[in-house]
Amino acid sequence: MLPESSNPQPPPFADLQKLIWPLKIGLAATVFASVALMLVPNYYASEAVILPVETRMPSGIGELASLAANFGIGATSQEGADAIFPEVLGSRWLRERLLTSSFTFHARRWRFGTDEVRTQTLMSILDAPNVDIGLRRIDDIMTYSRNVKTRVLRIRAETRSPELSSQIIQSTLILLETFNKVKVQTRGGAKAAFAAERLKDAEREYAETEARVSSFINRNLTYQTSSNADIRLTGLRLEGELRMRQQLLTTLTLNREQALMEEKNDIPILNILDQGMIPLEKSGPHRSTWALSAFLISTVLAWLYDNRKWVKDWLILAKTPAAVQ
């Protein structure tokens, strides 16, 4: 048996008198934390949700995928055009334009101040001295994430003004749509540009050939029944060249129209589910949670300090091997 002097005192949990002082400390810490939290401004979050764009497959590939599914073979899923959206959201191109965008919103100078209308750029709101610092500070107010399984993209902005949070989200959506329309170089766009340029050349060549045929006919009205073989052959050759130029012109016109349709279809479409409405409830801070945490932590620390001798003896006993009777 261990000597009686080495045993720690009984646990002080039952002594209510020893709980009064830790509880007082806990209440004091709660009051102090509550006052401090009242000075912290509210934050409001606005969120946009973008659904995935359906992937378009060529008809032949779609038929093969259906045939493979009938035999229990899973076809490899293809990423839609919306796969680049997270990269665009994190790009310098979009964020620089967001920094220079101007927003009009209601805000308070301090926690209990009156609302005032402000018109500021995001650079000024973030108090960024230069663009690079502003680009880093955007991460403090705006985040985005994409679910790997569902491919749903979420964009979230959190600021001290509900109107500002909503406007940041809506400006981001506009910039994302602008990128789709202006910056994305699709195969259909390249084909349309090439087809339009080639069509101009074909129209010019057709006009030149038509002028030669007209000039030849004016000089040789009866070339088809002419006794001169060279004249008949020249007329037939010019007629054949004119028909070929006409067929080429028709084909290029159809190709250009098809390329223009492909260009429109290749532009990624924003399937917006939530557009980032003005939030009505604050997203933070959670004052009751922080106040309760301050009460519990301060009470426990005060109790441990007040019973430090018992805690020290208990720790020594815990490290000592069990006594053998």
What ranges do the domains of the chain cover? 4-40+285-319, 44-58+78-182+269-275, 187-266
Tens place of pLDDT per residue across the chain (325 aa): 444 445 555 566 656 667 888 888 888 988 988 888 787 888 899 999 998 876 544 444 444 445 444 544 444 445 566 778 888 899 999 999 999 999 999 887 766 777 789 899 999 999 999 999 999 999 999 999 998 888 899 999 999 899 999 999 999 999 988 887 776 656 667 777 888 888 888 888 888 888 888 888 888 877 777 778 777 788 888 888 888 988 888 888 888 887 777 666 656 677 888 888 988 888 888 888 888 998 899 988 888 888 888 778 788 887 776 544 4
Rounded distance between C-alpha atoms, residue 252 and residue 203, angstroms: 10
pLDDT at 246: 87
Residue 61, token pair as written in the block: 């590939």
**Among 172, 146, 174, which residue's Cα sits nearest to residue 79?**
146
Is residue 155 within 8 A of residue 48, CB to CB? The reply is yes
Q: Which of 195, 198, 199, 179 is nearest to 187 (CA)?
A: 195
Predicted pLDDT of residue 62: 47
Model pTM?
Answer: 0.62
Q: How many CB atoms lie within 10 A of CB 317?
A: 13
Report the pLDDT value the prediction gives residue 138, as an integer from 0 to 100: 93
State phi, psi for 255 to the nearest 5 degrees: -65, -40
Q: How far apart are CA 294 and CA 35, in angstroms?
A: 12
Q: Identify the pLDDT of residue 322.
A: 54
Which value, to the nearest 10 degrees, does the dihedral of the CA atoms of residues 242, 248, 253, 254 take?
130
Q: How many helices (H) and strands (E) in the chain? A: 11, 6
- pLDDT (0 to 100) of residue 99: 93
> Which of 160, 171, 155, 164 has its CA nearest to residue 120?
164
State how far the Cα of 2 lies from the Cα of 22, in Å rounded to an integer.
Answer: 32
- Give dist(CA 32, CA 57) in Å, integer: 63
Say how far apart CA 296 and CA 18 lie, in whole Å. Answer: 16
Distance of CA 44 to the CA centre of its chain: 19
Amino acid at 177: E
Of 220, 20, 167, 178, nearest to 88 (Cα)? Answer: 178
